[in-house]
Amino acid sequence: MKKSWIIIIVILVVLIGIYSMFKGTYNNMVTKGESVDAQWSQVENVYQRRADLIPNLVNTVKGYASHEKETLEGVVEARAKATSVNIDASNLNPQSMQAFQQAQDGLSGALSKLMVVVEKYPDLKANQNFLDLQAQLEGTENRIAVERKKFNEKVREYNTYIKTFPNNMFAGMFGFVQKPYFKSAQGSDKAPEVKF
């Protein structure tokens, strides 16, 4: 009789240990996945801030450079494309991430063209409203870089956790998949060529 109680207690302890391991691993995967999703929301937040600044910037430039219609329309069109690409944080995959990045890169390119146009207008460059908007846009670009870095750190933590043994076995069982990193635009590893 004593032997059977000992066997039952050992089996219960083993079952409780296995349950605790599954529960802890699963909960850690959920927590790390939620951290990635939350950080992605912050990335989208700073990109939205940039998109919100653009209409004011375009309107300010329009007052000084009305005959630069093509450039201004290009910025407005690129903004519309960039804000139309939305990714659900729970469905991050390489294809959706690439589409998002391409839209944002298009907007960055259009803004760069706008800043080149601005150089032709000394009165505009001295306008306080324009200077404030330009400073806010530069600050937002810095925030974007910081939030993208934080996002990649969260993705690295999550991906590392679900790929290590024995977590990789549980990840597959529970449907946790690797998340994509934010990657720099193609060609950004080369310094731009400047000619005078």
pLDDT in tens, the chain (196 residues): 788 888 899 999 999 999 988 899 999 999 999 999 999 999 999 999 988 888 888 888 877 776 677 788 888 888 888 888 888 877 788 888 888 888 888 888 888 888 887 887 777 777 788 888 888 888 988 999 999 999 999 999 999 999 999 899 889 888 899 999 888 666 544 444 433 3
Confidence at residue 66, expressed as pLDDT on a 0 to 100 scale: 67
Domains and CATH numbers, the chain: 2-174 (1.20.1440.20)
178 alpha-carbon distance from chain centroid = 16
Give the C-alpha separation, 18 to 10, whole Å: 12
DSSP letter assigned to residue 89: G
Q: Exposed, middle or buried: residue 150 (CB in 10 Å: 0-12, 13-18, 19+)?
A: middle
Half-sphere exposure of 97 (CA within 13 A, CB side): 19
pLDDT at 195: 39
Instruction: Report the predicted TM-score, pTM, of the whole model to 2 decimal places.
Output: 0.76
- pLDDT score of 40: 92
Contact 148, 43 (CB under 8 A): yes
